[in-house]
Amino acid sequence: MRHKIAKLNNHHVVCGYGRSGQEVINHFLLNDIPFVLIELNQEKARQAMEEGLLVLHGDASDDELLIQAQVTKASGIVCALSDDSANTFIALSARGLNEKIKIVCRAANPGSEAKMRRAGADMVISPYVICGKRMAAAVTHPLVTEFLDVVMHTPGYDLRMEQMTLAASSVLVGAALKDANIKQASGAMILAVNQNGKLMSNPSPDLVFQAGDDLIALGTEQQLKKLA
């Protein structure tokens, strides 16, 4: 297992095999995203190993263990422990080892968000806040909520959303959205564009694509492959 982990590159590190961590891992498995799990509880670590996962047993805030998980070569780390302090310390350690890594933290206490961001977290998610907003939306906009649930959480469903980055060699670079014929050529729809750090939803037809732009697109798997 350590030999397989040593070969990982551009993967994700998941810290914690609780309910949040398991949901993250289920998503990674469904989408064939490489990852390694770090779990302190010996019984949970053994269970994950028996399920065929790549697992390191120990404290995820330990620099040596993060290095064993190839965090220096990882593209992202998910701090999914139930302890906010532990997640904050993991974020601090991960940022110190990899300046470019994407760090996502779970926060049980909304007041912990500022500390986690200072420690290096790019995104902080509070399950209680998300749950409350989803419950409110389910009452006020039930059809929208049902649609998003079907698109994002139903395995094998035809529609999905994907994020992709424009390389400098892309034929879209320098072209305006209205002239790119993306819908006609691929069938996919551009929902948003992140350009120069600014996220633009429902982008203007006059938007000119630049190298490094992040596109958020909606379509079938085949349509998204054509767009890519």
Summarize pLDDT for 49-71 with one digit per residue, the tens.
999 999 999 999 999 999 999 99
DSSP per residue, the chain: -HHHHHT--S-EEEE--SHHHHHHHHHHHHTT--EEEEES-HHHHHHHHHTT--EEES-TT-HHHHHHTTGGG-SEEEE--S-HHHHHHHHHHHHHH-TT-EEEEE-SSGGGHHHHHHTT-SEEE-HHHHHHHHHHHHHH-HHHHHHHHHHHHSTT-SEEEEEEE--TT-TTTT-BHHHH-HHHHHS-EEEEEEETTEEEES--TTPBP-TT-EEEEEEEHHHHHHH-
Tens-digit pLDDT profile for residues 106-156: 998 878 999 999 999 999 999 888 888 889 988 998 988 887 777 666 655
Quote the pLDDT of residue 157: 60
* pLDDT value of residue 24: 95
Average pLDDT over the chain, rounded to an integer: 92
Q: What are the pLDDT digits (tens) for 180-204?
A: 999 999 999 999 999 998 999 999 9
pLDDT for residue 166 is more than 90:
yes
pLDDT reported for residue 146? 82
pLDDT tens profile 77-116 = 999 999 999 999 999 999 999 999 999 999 988 789 999 9
The predicted pLDDT at position 156 comes to 58
pLDDT at 38: 97
- Which pLDDT does position 153 carry in this prediction? 62
Would you state the pLDDT for residue 109? Answer: 86
pLDDT at 78: 98
The predicted model scores a pTM of 0.77
Q: What is the mean pLDDT of residues 158-167?
A: 86
- The yes-or-no verdict on residue 13 having pLDDT over 80 is yes
